[in-house]
Amino acid sequence: MATSAENAITRRFLHESRGDGRVASVRFADFPDFMTYGSDRNFNRPFFLDAGQYAGIRADLAAMFALMCSLPDRLFGGSIQALADATGTPALQAEAILRTATDEPVCIGRADLYQEQTGFRMLEYNLTSGLGGWHGTLLNRVMLHDDHLRAFVADESLGYGDSLRGLVDTMLATSLPKDAPSRPFVAVTDWPTSFPIEEQRMRTMATLMGPMGVDAEACHMGQLEYRQGGVYLAGRRVDVVYRMYLLDHLLEGPQPAELLRPLLEAVERGAVGLCAPFDIELYGNKACMALLSDERHRGAFEPHELDLVERMLPWTRQVRRERVRADGEEVDLLDYALAHRSELVLKPNCAYDGHGVTAGWTVDDEQWADLVKAAVDGSYIVQRRVVPVRERVVDPTAPDGYARAILNWGIFVGVSPADAGAYVKGTTDHDAGVVSVDRGARFGCVFHHAGQR
């Protein structure tokens, strides 16, 4: 496991707190009731990005977004359908992608990164409006109830981005129909199968959107009505459908096409805006990372673009019966994957929040072989393990006052040049295959330093 690479802000903060747990005195009771986990599921300290890290990550993610969205032109003669075929996209999903595709894909999403000693590596790029983690901003605000932290943030000239506002600003900039009123009505919409689980959180999200210039209500696709040339919710005409469900959800429940196609028709007519069009999820498909990582496509990219891919992306391949390059030589992909179990992670192309992900070092050889063979020619990638550095978190019970955590950094992106926010998920289980709140990881907020100290 890599050692610490804490930046100077973090070192100053931890030196001042001296491991005495002062930040743990934050009044987590002020956190909104919609959170399903309380103070025991949140880190008792914030996390920091210095000016160089902040600027570098934002520039790299903007460049990676452009590269991923350029794949149809660079590799498939401009055909979005061909890219959908190459990524194993099912027919109904491909239909949604093609019918809502735009000339300029909407930049909206969240990248998940690990930090190595040499910098940040991108594990995946979740390009969609249906994102978790936007509530990290609320934890920033709660943390600032602590007098010591508030003084430290002021002394260091730190700030934080409002992730939900970044998402709303992107929606308003890209998704409004021409005849939308000055205060549009937004349907924050999920798929019927997932709505019962997410309803309360979505209603809170809709309420928090109110001061940001919109009226919003939470619903599922089955509650939308199509009449008089428009889309309606509870008798009110909808200006924008803010999509919380993902492409994967289109394969769930009875008659999904009957739910989806009326919306696609309304979007095509310009009767309603859609945040975000489905095409953006195609570019966020993990198979696109495999296409970028594959040496066979090097001729389609400029040297500086290849340098970015090499620096940001772990070695990634679609699970196929083919020969590829790995560790500087040509190998059979399946033989290589089976022989390097402890160095690889198996991931479904479109799943979210770690669902279906298997880290090779968490299973035995037989289990790994069964999983890899079952993934052949399906919608899976295999990716090189990234070994993240550890960061100290305050733990008064530890001998030196700290525990060591590995962190998954969630960095939001949007069309606005302003900061779209960030958060971390972390665990002190250094061999965890997936750092996920559902699997016991803790949640933390991020402050960043945008200028030079």
pLDDT in tens, 46-102: 999 999 999 999 999 999 999 999 999 999 999 999 999 999 999 999 999 999 999
Confidence of residue 39 (pLDDT cuts 50, 70, 90): low
What's residue 189's pLDDT? Answer: 98
The tens digit of pLDDT for each residue in 112-142 reads: 999 999 999 999 999 999 998 888 888 888 8
In the chain the domains, ranked by start, together with CATH numbers, are 8-162+388-448 (no CATH), 176-275 (3.40.50.11370), 315-384 (3.30.1490)
Mean pLDDT of the region 261-280: 96
Tell me the C-alpha to C-alpha distance, in Å, between residue 334 and each of 347, 352, 358.
15, 24, 16
Q: Which of 120-134, 168-182, 262-276, 416-430 has the lowest mean pLDDT?
A: 416-430
Task: Provide the mean pLDDT of the chain.
Answer: 89
Please list, in sequence order, all residues whose beta carbon lies within 8 angstroms of the beta carbon of residue 114, skipping any fewer than 6 positions away. Answer: 120, 121, 123, 386, 387, 388, 406, 407, 408, 409
| CA–CA gap between residue 13 and residue 254 (Å, rounded) | 53
What's residue 244's pLDDT? Answer: 96
Is the pLDDT score of 398 beyond 70? Answer: yes
What's residue 120's pLDDT? Answer: 96
The continuous run of DSSP H or E covering 241 comes out as: strand 240-243
What's residue 399's pLDDT? Answer: 86
DSSP 170-217: HHHHH---TT--SS-EEEEEE-TTTHHHHHHHHHHHHHHHGGGT-EEE
- Higher confidence at residue 417 or residue 275? 275
Collapsed DSSP state (helix, strand, coil) of residue 339 = helix
| Amino acid at position 337, single letter | A
The continuous run of DSSP H or E covering 254 comes out as: none
Structure tokens at 33: 């009731």
Is the pLDDT score of 172 beyond 60? Answer: yes
The tens digit of pLDDT for each residue in 308-323 reads: 999 999 999 999 999 9
Predicted model pTM? 0.92
